[in-house]
Amino acid sequence: MSSDSVKKMQAGFVAIIGRPNVGKSTLLNKLLGQKIAITSRKPQTTRHNLLGIYTENNLQAIFIDTPGIHSGGKKQLNRQMNRAARKSMIDTDVIIQVVESGKMTAEDVKIMEQIVEIKLPKICVINKIDRIGNKEKLLSEIAEIAQKNSWQEIIPISAEKGQNTDAIIKVLSALLPQREWIFPEDQITTAGMRYLCAELIREKLFRYLHQEIPYELGVIIEGYKELNGMVKIDANIIVERESQKAIVIGKNASVLKAVGTAARIELEKELEQKVLLKTFVSVKNNWRDNAEIIANMNKGAEMD
């Protein structure tokens, strides 16, 4: 690689922050053009920082999809999520705060205030503008946000519809430093397959369960083997109480079968192989305060 081409290359880390359920993971998936982060209408879906790597032309933007920053979480898992999100704001080159159009909250403002003193370029992305019919209201919202921080840009988008998301890449191309790419051109995430499989199964559980139980369950991949053109996966779904175990399994194992089938179909699509998925449910009292269990869940966030 010539010195001239190295000079033209840009690469840097971009933290995507915000309160829960504003669409951070949906935005990451849309920017990458591929699903690596699970999404749900339920808050606190993302529990760990997840790296998604966008490489196009001479630009490599390494996005850090962070857990939603929230107040009042007393469990060790909640504290870890907040620490992970806040650490990402320091070890990065650009910060993107995502807010939801028409639903600015005190938590949004608090996060804006927290990042005022961080001497990094900051972008505010106003998501879900497709749900707002009144353009005057959007303009007023932009003006209000502009007063809260020294933003490089305020970008209204719809992550779900892909509306104006290319503007984010355009702005980042003007902000990220010139340096050689940090990851290979064809790499899209640092997460290992065990972690991605566990997250996908957890997403399906979120979709099928409508009670508060999703916040109290986790998934650990106990076995992952590739054999004769097939991937064999053993997934342990962890809950905190026996009553929750019954809900996850469902009458005649209906819920567990539905979750397993939906997860298997999507895993086969992602892995481009046949998948034999076995799911089982275990009870671990107060697991969200168990550092060992949380560490086991977090292992897969690094590459296999």
Domain boundaries, the chain: 3-175, 193-299
pLDDT at 1: 47
pLDDT at 44: 46
pLDDT at 298: 63
The CATH number of the domain covering residues in 3-175: 3.40.50.300
pLDDT at 155: 97
pLDDT at 193: 83
Extended strands (E) in 67-189: 94-100, 122-127, 153-156
Spell out, as residue ranges, where the chain has pLDDT lower than 70.
1-7, 37-49, 67-90, 210-215, 297-304
| Rama region for 169: left / alpha / beta (φ>0; ψ in -120 to 50; rest) | alpha
pLDDT at 164: 96
Superfamily of domain 193-299: K homology (KH) domain (3.30.300.20)
Write the CA distances from 184 to 6, 116, 177, integer angstroms.
14, 33, 18
pLDDT at 214: 63
Q: Who contacts 154 (Cβ-Cβ below 8 Å, separation ≥6)?
A: 123, 124, 126, 142, 145, 146
pLDDT at 299: 60
pLDDT at 6: 47
Residue range 25-38, pLDDT digits in tens:
899 989 998 877 65
